Amino acid sequence: MLILFHKNNKVVDVIDVELGLKINNSENNPTKALFNLSSTFSSRIICWAHFSYKGSINLEKLKSFFLNTNTMVSTGSISYLSDSIGYVEDSLFINVNKKVKYPTWLMHSNCGAIYGKHLLTFKPYIDVNQDLVYNLNSIAKLGISNGLYCYASSKIIEKNNLDATFKIASKAKLFQFVKEHYKVRWLFLLFLNFIIHEKKILIIPLLKSLKYKRKYYKNLIASDNKIDTIEIEKTISVIIPTLGRAPYLYNVLKDLALQTLKPTEVIIIEQGDKTFFKTELDYLKIDNWPFKIVHKLITKTGACNARNIGLNFVTSKYTFFADDDIRFNKNMLSEALSFMEVQGHDAITLSCLKESEIETQKVPVQWKSFGSGCSIVKSNVIKDLKFNMAFEHGFGEDADYGMQLRNKGVDVIYLPFVKLKHLKAPIGGFRTKHTHAWEIEKVLPKPSPTIMLYNLKYKTKEQVNSYKLTLFLKLYKRQSIKQPFKYYNMFKERWAKSQTWANKLENKAI
C-alpha cells in the first residue's frame, strides 16, 4: 500500500507502507500525483489521506476492504456535495449510515483508497485541476454503475475529529457536478428545488454550469478473484411463499431437484382460502424430492408474513428467497454461491427478467434495491431481520428488507450473469384483490402510504422534498384539475393523507 498525504490541496508526502520508505514525488497536485502513482504501481493499493491523520490510519482495517480489487473506500462524516445532492440523487447511496460499512459513491479526501489499475482507468475523464475531493466523488459516481464497489467507513481513521479541515462544495461546484454526472433535466430540478425548499435563486451557479459537458465513463470494472463454477460444499435453504400457483411451483421444485448443488431444504409457505382450507400441493408428498420439504399451509395471505414464517425453519448457511414462478438452469445455485464465497459477499440479488427482457448489466454492481423473490443471503446476517409487516399487500417490502441489511453493514450485490427467468404467472386461483383501509377514504392518499413509509424511513429530507416536487409535476399532466391553485391544494391534501397513513402503518407494525 502507498499513502499520499496532502494538505491544502497540495501533496506533502508519499509513503510506501510495506517498505517504510518515502517515494520520490515531484508533483504537487494530488490528483496528478495519484494518477502517476497508479501508473507506476498499478497492482498496489493507492491510499490518500490528509496530513493531519498521519499516524492515525487503521491500515489493517483499510486493507480488509480489498478482498475484491474493484473497491473504493473513504471516511468522513460530512458530504462534500452537502445534503443538497439529495435533490437530484434518489438512490439509497446518499443517506449514509455512518455506524457501519455502507455503500455510497460519496467520497472524502480525509482518507481513502483504491487499487492503482482501476484508478488509472478514470484518468481520461478527470480534470486534474479540480480539487482532490471533487475528483474523488467524480470517480466514485462514474464507477459505481460500472462495477466499482464504493463504501464509506468510519473505522479507517482512529481519531474522533474527522472533517476538522474538510470544506463543503460551493453551490457553483454542486451545480457543475450535477451537470457533469446527471441528465440535464436534473440541473433545472436542482435549481427549482432550491427556490421552493430553501428560498434561494441560484441563477449564477446554474448559468456557469451550462458550459460543462456530461462525463460518460465506458470501462467495466470487475474483481480479479477467480470464480470456479464447480460444486461447493455449502448448504442452502429455499423459502417460497405461494398462493394458487401449483403448476408453476412444481416447475420451480423440479429445477431445484436438478441443481448440481442441491438445497438442504425447501420451505414452502402455502397461503390457502379461509372458506376452503385445503392444500393444492399434493405432489409434495406423492413425488420423491432430493431435499427436505417443509410445507406450512396458512390462511393468512401476504408475502411478508409468509416469508417471516419461512425464516423460522432455515437451518442452512445460505437462504434463497425465491418466487413461485421462476425457472433456472442446473448450475444456478452452484454459480451463485461460488461467487459469494470467492468474493466474500453476504447478500446478492440475481438477474430475474421476463422472457422478452434483455439483461443490460455486464458486471456485478452494488444494487439499489433487493429482490425478495430472487436473492441469496448468508443466514447468519438475517437472524434478527424480518420483513416489515407495515408493507404487507403494498409496495416496498423488498426494498425495506434490503435497507435493513445495509444498515447492518451488509451490502447487496446484483449478479447479472446468474440468471433466473421470471414467468410473471397470472394471479393464483385463491387470490383476491386486497383492499386497503385508505382506498375507501374520500381523499385518496398519494403516493401510496407504503411508498411514503419507505421514503420517510430511509431517505433524506432533500430526497423526500425532491420526490414530492417531481410527483407534483408528473401528476399534473395526468389528472383532470388544471387550475393550478386548486390542483396544488388537492395535492397537499393527498400528500398529508399519505403521511398520516404511513405513520399508522409503522405504528401498527411495531
| φ, ψ for residue 461, nearest 5 deg | -60, -40
Give yes or no on whether 2-170 and 236-422 have one common fold: yes
Greatest Cα pair distance in the chain = 81
pTM of the predicted protein model: 0.94
pLDDT for 227:
63
| CB contact set of 103 (below 8 Å; sequence gap of 6+) | 92, 93, 149, 150, 151, 366, 406, 411, 412
On average, the pLDDT of the chain sits at 93
Q: Which residue has the cell 482518507?
A: 111
What is the per-residue pLDDT across 142-191, written as a single tens digit (0 to 9) for each?
A: 999 999 999 999 999 987 666 656 689 999 999 999 999 999 999 999 99
Q: Kindly write down the DSSP assignment for every residue of 444-504, as one continuous string.
A: --SS-HHHHHHHHHHS-HHHHHHHHHHHHHHHHHHSS---HHHHHHHHHHHHHHHHHHHHH
Helix or strand holding residue 294 (H, E): strand 292-298
72 pLDDT band, cuts 50/70/90, is very high
The pLDDT of 113-126, averaged and rounded, is 97
Using alpha carbons, list the distances in angstroms from residue 179 to 38, 187, 191, 193, 483: 27, 6, 12, 15, 33
441 pLDDT band, cuts 50/70/90, is confident
pLDDT for 160:
62
**Extents of the domains making up the chain:** 2-170, 236-422, 437-509
311 pLDDT above the threshold of 60: yes
74 pLDDT above the threshold of 90: yes
What is the per-residue pLDDT across 39-51, written as a single tens digit (0 to 9) for each?
A: 999 999 999 999 9
pLDDT for 228:
62
Compare 182 and 244 and report the one with higher pLDDT: 182
- CATH architecture of structural domain 236-422: Alpha-Beta Complex (3.90)
Instruction: Please answer whether residues 391 and 372 qualify as being in contact, where contact means their C-beta atoms are separated by less than 8 angstroms.
Output: no
Q: Please check whether the domain covering 2-170 is classified as CATH 3.90.550.
A: yes
What is the per-residue pLDDT across 186-229, written as a single tens digit (0 to 9) for each?
A: 999 999 999 999 999 999 999 999 999 999 999 999 988 766 65
Of all residues in the chain, the percent with pLDDT exceeding 90 is 82
Amino acid identity, residue 506? E
How far, in Å, CA of 483 to CA of 408, rounded? 47
pLDDT for 318:
97
346 pLDDT band, cuts 50/70/90, is very high
Amino acid identity, residue 484? P
How far, in Å, CA of 150 to CA of 144, rounded? 6
The pLDDT of 451-456, averaged and rounded, is 97
pLDDT for 429:
46
| φ, ψ for residue 394, nearest 5 deg | -130, -155
pLDDT for 231:
53
End-to-end Cα spacing for the chain:
47
Alpha helices in 165-274 (DSSP H): 171-181, 184-198, 203-209, 246-257
Range with lowest mean pLDDT among 60-64, 179-183, 230-234: 230-234
